Each structure stands twice: as C-alpha cells, then as structure tokens.
Copies of this chain bind each other. A is one copy, B any other.
Amino acid sequence: MNRRSVTIVDLAESLGLSKTTVADALKGSGRVAESTRRRVLEAAGERGYMANRAAQQLRTRSAGAIGLYIPPKVRSMSFYMPFALGVADEASHHAWDLTLLTRWPRNGKPANQVDGVIVIDALPGDPVVKRLIDLPVPIVTAGRSTDIPPDRLAAVIEIEYERMCGVVLDRLEALGAGRPALVSPVAGDDLSWSRQLQRGYQSWCDRQRKPSHLVTMPTFPTTDDLATAMAKVLAVQEIDAILFAWQDIATRAAIQLDHLCSTTGRSVSLATIVSSMDHFNNAYLTALDLRPHLFGQSAARLLREVVVEPPNRTIHRLHEAKLVE
C-alpha cells in the first residue's frame, strides 16, 4: 500500500486503451473483445497489477470484509480457533477478508468496516453485541442469542445439541452402556450449548425412564476439581458410561478415569463432544465431532447469502455434528 502501485490507469496508458476498457477486461464482463482482454490480462500479470480494495469499496459501498465476534469468556476454548479459521477460509473464497472483532474501538474512531458480522455463543448482555446491532449490516449468529432483535438478525445457524445428545446416548446404549452420566460445565444462560446438552441428556433419561446423573464443574477446572467430579460420578455404582460436554475436559478426565477404574476393576464407557480432531484420542467409545471448521465455513456461507440478498425474515439453518467412533 505504501508505495504507489500499478493502477488501472497505468495499464490503460501503456496499452493505449481507456480506463473503462481495462477495467472491464480485468473483471471479465463480456464487453471487451477477447483479444484486447488477453492483452490487458497479460500486461496486468506482468506488471503485477492488484486491484485497490479501498477504491472498489468506496465506489461499490461494500467493505470486502466480514467480522467475527467471539466473546472473551469462551475464547480460550479449543473450539473457537478452528471455527474462526473455517470462517476465514470460506471468506477468502469470496475475496472477503475476515476481521476479528474484539473490544469495541474507543471514542469516535471509525467502525470496523464490514459487510456483515458473525457472532458466536454470545452471552446475554454482551456490550460488543449491543454495538454490533447498530452497524447497518446483516448479522448471523452461530448458536442462538437473545440480544439481537429479530429484525436485525439475518440468520442463525446452530448445532442441534439437544437432539445430538440423544443420538450419542443411543449409540452408547447400543454399545452396551445403558446408564450414562453427563459431565457438563456449570450452566450458563438458557440458550447456551451446555444448557442444551443438559436438556438433551435429561429428556433422553426421561424417555428411557432412567435416573439422570448430572455432574457439573468449572469450564477450566484444576486437577482437583476434576478428581472431585470424577469421584462424584463413580460414586454411583450403576454408572457405566460418561458423556463429557466439552473436549478440553474430556482428554484429561479420561486419564483420571483410566487409573481410577483400573484400581477398582470397574469399566466405564466414555463419550465426548469433540471440538478439535487434532486433540482427539482413542480413549473414547464414541464421540460427537462438532466439526468447528466446517461450522465456521457454513456460517460464513450463510452470511454471504444474506449479504447478497437480505432475507425478509430470519433464516434458520442447522449444522450437522457427526458421530465418530
């Protein structure tokens, strides 16, 4: 950007053509003769022409970028990095940049320039979300959110945690483990994934007429927290399976349990929600891969749709998590 680079006018001059023609040739709208088009393209390639995004944006009133907001509370969970990169990948497909929205810029600075925004897992009352609503661009949420008024919410894409929880539990049962416990982070608001999982678990137990055993612990537990929780689970003799609500904890818990069980001779099947296959390991009988990268891609694709054609009412879409063994 700093040093002046090749512009359309430069090309036009050196080719003895007009601005317009060069521009048209470059973007391939059928207006120009194929021969001139080739000439232009060649020259552009040679001289390393790169379109000036700012100029395009100014003229077309588009930003060429989308924003992603990941609330601070959840940022360090392993799920969100692959999600963000999924969004970035899909965005780059459409020649969009992905801007990471963090705290809101201070006093009167210009707003982040975006054509649309993706918000994931925002908690009620998030101040940044409040400001995002004021931007004159469509908002897509990944996971539900209460804070965004329906007319500002272009689309929602979500994972069917409640249903998928049942699917995992069914699978566990089919594999011989009929009395599962759920280990979940302390519940947030009613729309949060953890709460949805808890509901899914509860209703599965109800359907199966089995008692439920829900154990909660902090999202980022210490080894002691973990040990306490595991002890609590194993205290119920009938428990023969455990479903972990998030992977960060599951990887550690599996090791704890491995030892606890090997001393007592007890056998417990493990299942977990998976947020990053990279970190996944084979201690689990069954797992629900949230496919965060794909989730991010889908969210970005959805955003693209609503940017191209604003819907008259909120679109709802599902992202399929995948059962793995």
Contacts and interface: CB of A to CB of B under 8 A. Distances in A.
B115 A1 contact: yes
Contacts of A267: none
Copies of this chain held together in the complex: 2
A174 interface: no
A81 B56 CA distance: 31
A255 interface: yes
A248 B111 CA distance: 36
A136 interface: yes
A48 B136 CA distance: 11
Nearest to A101: B88
Nearest to A282: B222
A222 B1 contact: no
A204 interface: no
Contact of A279 (B52, B104, B220, B278): B220
A62 interface: yes
A136 to B, nearest CB: 5
B97 A283 contact: no
A178 interface: no
Contacts of A88: 100-102
A140 B108 CA distance: 29
Contact of A2 (B4, B61, B97, B106): B61
Interface residues of A, number: 77
A216 interface: no
Contact of A97 (B3, B62, B113, B248): B113
Interface stretch (A31-39, A72-80, A234-242): A72-80
A212 interface: no
Contacts of A310: 2
A242 to B, nearest CB: 15
26 contacts: A1-B113, A1-B114, A1-B115, A1-B136, A2-B62, A4-B61, A50-B110, A52-B58, A52-B113, A53-B57, A53-B111, A58-B58, A64-B110, A64-B113, A65-B99, A75-B81, A81-B84, A84-B84, A84-B100, A92-B104, A93-B106, A95-B105, A97-B112, A223-B251, A223-B258, A252-B255
